């Protein structure tokens, strides 16, 4: 299976998960807090695919992204974020595809999106480090999802671009 086929299958699965948890999800256009600060770990294959999306941007969008890359800092905004929207959305890495969902990442350890603390995703069922619903039982961590796929080294986006 190639990477694009892998993403198609993953997106089908994620669509079901997002549907199952929709009452607890509050993501909407214009909400980009998850893109405004983070490390964004991605594999070499994901970076290569992301850059295919970059190649399809308009010249103006490319200039904006290039300027964002010049000012990139670890833990800062994603350089592909333009006007609070992902400029390469169809090409986004796995971390972006799965962000927002609460899932079991290790035995009895649930990963809850940080926006739960800001009154957004899962804030209605998450408090003081406890979630009161059953999370998705599949580990949606990028490393786990890519374990059977040779995608090369995984680094933070800033480390790839600096």
Are the C-beta atoms of residues 92 and 50 closer than 8 Å to each other? yes
pTM: 0.92
CA distance 64 to 142: 27
Tokens of 82: 């333009």
- How confident is the prediction along the chain (162 residues), in pLDDT tens digits per residue? 799 999 999 999 999 999 999 999 988 777 888 899 888 999 999 999 999 999 999 999 999 999 999 988 888 999 999 999 999 999 999 999 999 999 998 877 899 998 888 889 999 999 888 899 999 999 999 989 998 888 999 999 999 998
pLDDT for the residue 21: 95
Please give the tally of structural domains in the chain: 1
pLDDT for the residue 119: 87
DSSP state of 136: B
The residue segments making up the domain with residue 89 are 3-161
């Amino acid at each position: 299976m190639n990477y694009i086929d892998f993403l198609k299958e993953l997106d089908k699965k994620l669509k079901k998960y997002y549907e199952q948890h929709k009452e607890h999800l509050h993501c909407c256009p214009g909400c980009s807090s998850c893109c405004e600060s983070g490390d964004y770990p991605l594999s070499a294959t994901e970076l290569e695919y992301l850059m295919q999306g970059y190649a399809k941007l308009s010249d103006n969008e490319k200039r904006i992204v290039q300027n964002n890359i010049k000012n990139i800092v670890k833990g800062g905004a994603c350089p592909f974020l333009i006007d609070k929207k992902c400029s390469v959305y169809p090409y986004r890495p796995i971390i972006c595809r799965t962000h927002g969902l609460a899932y079991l990442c290790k035995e009895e350890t649930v990963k809850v999106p940080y926006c739960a603390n800001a009154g957004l995703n899962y804030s209605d069922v998450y408090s003081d480090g406890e979630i009161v619903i059953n999370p998705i039982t599949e580990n949606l961590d990028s490393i786990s999802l890519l374990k059977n796929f040779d995608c090369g080294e995984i680094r933070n986006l800033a480390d790839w671009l600096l």
